[in-house]
Amino acid sequence: MRRLKFIQTVIRAHAARDGARFGEAARLYREALAVEPRRNGVRVQMANMLKDSGQHAEAERAYLDALQSAPREADIHLQLARLRLATGRRALALEGFRRAIDLDPNSPDAVRELAAAGDVSAMAPKGGAGEGVLKFEELYFIRARLEALGDELSKIRRHLPETLASAAFPVGGYREMRALFDVPPPVELEPGGSRPTVAVFIDAGLARDLGALHRQITSVVSQSYANWRLAIAGHGSEQRALVERFASGDPRVCWVDPADGDPEPERRMASEVGADWILLTEPNTTFHPQMLAWIAAVAGRLPCQAVVFDAEREGAGGTLELQARRMFDRHSLREANVWGNTFAIEADQFSRLEGASEVGTLSERRRRLLEALPSEAIVAHIPLPLSRCWQIEEDRHAGAPSEFAPASPVGHSDVPICVLIPTRDNLGDVSAFVESLIQLARRPDRLSVLLANNGDGAYGALLRERFAGLSSVRIEDAPGPFNWSGLCNRMATGTDAPLLVFANDDMRMLSADWDELVRGLLAEPEVGAVGARLLYEDHTVQHAGILFDWNGSTIHDGLHQPADAEGPAARWSTTHEVSAVTGAFLATRRSAFEAVGGFDAGRLAISYSDVDFALRLRARGMRIVWSPRITAIHHESKTRGLDHLDAAKAARDAEERRTLLTIWPGALDFEPTLNPFWRQTILPHRLLYWPSTERVWEYLQATTKANPWLVAQGSQSVQ
């Protein structure tokens, strides 16, 4: 009889589980355990249902009880780690995923979870779990394997690049990748077209030695593209003799005697050497034989006034690093020149610019030169390593992010800001957040906070009591089902402040003068919205902007990276334009908010309304900017809970994503900031692969525009 009761209860529990009645299923599994307490599998099922019904503390106790009976059961460690990760305890979660892999090396779920949580080691090939899970990463070792294959080597190489089309390499394995791939000649978009003359300028006085200068000149003379001129300026007789030896065999090479005290020899050389384009160089750098061919192809085919490109940096210890840059961005340029000191510029543009001052380092002068380009000038970025620099001590930090210069124009520091925060049953967090906003604001007298109480009357009373002494804080009751978009729209009508900041209640501001940074960025008329760097409690990155076209969806950039990580091309340490920013902290002008009709409360209540809002702004020609200068801790979804732990919320999230794709067909299919060298795996910017020539041209065509961020407005996007 006891056995029959157990079976019947378990059957009912399974039915409740399959019907997504998680709380009922947990209760029934508990009843079954009361009959037969040794059934550990039922205990794990109960823990799963407790987790899915939001009873996280009870679920954790159940998992731990199950581990007491079966400490070597990998799946229990996996489920417990998932719970801990979802509730913000990442360090414990990583330990659990690793323990699950130790116990079951053939567990693909544990490997994927560990990699998704930010452990890069899980993405490297290894015995067991690494095999069959992320198989393309095993190609990192293909060079050694090919050499071991002996007679099969030529056969396999004949099948390249087909064999290696999906090859992916860890960032530290770039030298191995480079041994297998090379920069191809540019396949032009269409036959014919112009073949511009490119003048290359070298300042021999900056060369480390004659050997470095010789290598640099040789790399120009060896170019596959023939329509070039090379002008070299210097003072030394040995340098001149070296250049004249090259000039005797190639009339395109010439020596230029710089005038005494000439602060800008490049500008004078540009007036003396007739050319359509000018290539400015840096010392200790050589150029790929296809460099000028690519520059000429891009300059002749695309509407641009300057061309930047990727580079390689070789260290003294034999290391080789790819500098995978990104689409040109003036917001980043204010803080750092991450596009290097070697780039090409139209000769007419160069003759008009006055940015190449004699003051400052070469890197700073080149940054100012790029900055001096007219606002309408288009800078193309070729995502291929067209130059290689030998790193020496004095240039090690060249191009590193410089001290941030606030963007706030004079006279804008008194613009009122209202922070709009929906809140429900989270008094401790919202209190700490409001306090941090006020304490760290430069102008707290021009700051107001509006809280929308989505809880009950008792919570509203607690809020009013807590903030009774702060006249800048108002509370409005907003009962009903949680609708983030609707609550934000409602709050926006409750203030006349010209600047609005929408924020979650589970935050804590870390940046001093954050309000001044918001004012400064939103003072630029082309900026429609501003986002912040959000960190987990362990000070790893949760949000550094939203990346589109990541495995067919969106993902937070910088996810799980250390807070002090600069990122590729300083993308996590400099202000730059992004596809979208999270609504957990989203600042905008009231005028822009009203122009696009606010958030879509009808169709996108929670999950994708911030992305839709960014697309609405971009459809009107505005830009979305993310800045690490505004940083906050975000206790992710602490109030509302995590969608993937609730089947109903997960279903709603999936439906809202389908709705977004219907409203904006194709808009999520391209990410302008994503260099084609980055492989789309579990987390961004972890693995490299060599892009095809077609992929490079697709990127160039999509980014070499006056406004690459402009999107086609969806037929139903504006209400």
Q: How many CB atoms lie within 10 A of CB 681?
A: 18
CB 575 within 8 A of CB 625: yes
What pLDDT was estimated at residue 265?
A: 66
- Rg over CA atoms, the chain: 29
What pLDDT was estimated at residue 122?
A: 56
What pLDDT was estimated at residue 166?
A: 55
Q: How many CB atoms lie within 10 A of CB 456?
A: 12
Rounded (10°) angle between helices 2-18 and 40-52: 30
What pLDDT was estimated at residue 245?
A: 93
- Considering the entire predicted model, what is its pTM? 0.82
The total number of residues shown for the chain amounts to: 719
Average pLDDT per consecutive 10 residues, the chain (719 residues; last block may be shorter)? 83 88 91 90 91 88 92 91 83 88 83 75 47 42 50 49 61 92 81 81 87 94 96 87 93 82 66 86 95 96 97 88 96 94 94 66 87 95 96 45 43 86 96 98 97 95 95 95 96 97 97 97 97 95 95 90 95 97 98 97 94 97 98 73 57 87 91 93 88 95 96 58
What pLDDT was estimated at residue 694?
A: 93
In this structure, what token pair is assigned to residue 545?
């902007």
What pLDDT was estimated at residue 360?
A: 74
How far are the Cα atoms of 313, 339, 629 from residue 401, in angstroms, in the given order?
A: 18, 12, 12
One-letter amino acid at 629 equals R
174-180, Cβ contacts within 8 angstroms, sequence gap of 24 or more = 174/320, 174/321, 174/322, 174/688, 175/319, 175/320, 176/140, 176/141, 176/142, 176/143, 177/140, 177/688, 177/689, 177/690, 178/312, 178/320, 178/322, 179/143, 180/142, 180/143, 180/690
DSSP run (H or E) holding 477: strand 473-477
Q: How far apart are CA 355 and CA 459, in angstroms?
A: 58
In this structure, what token pair is assigned to residue 678?
């980055």
Q: How far apart are CA 413 and CA 445, in angstroms?
A: 11
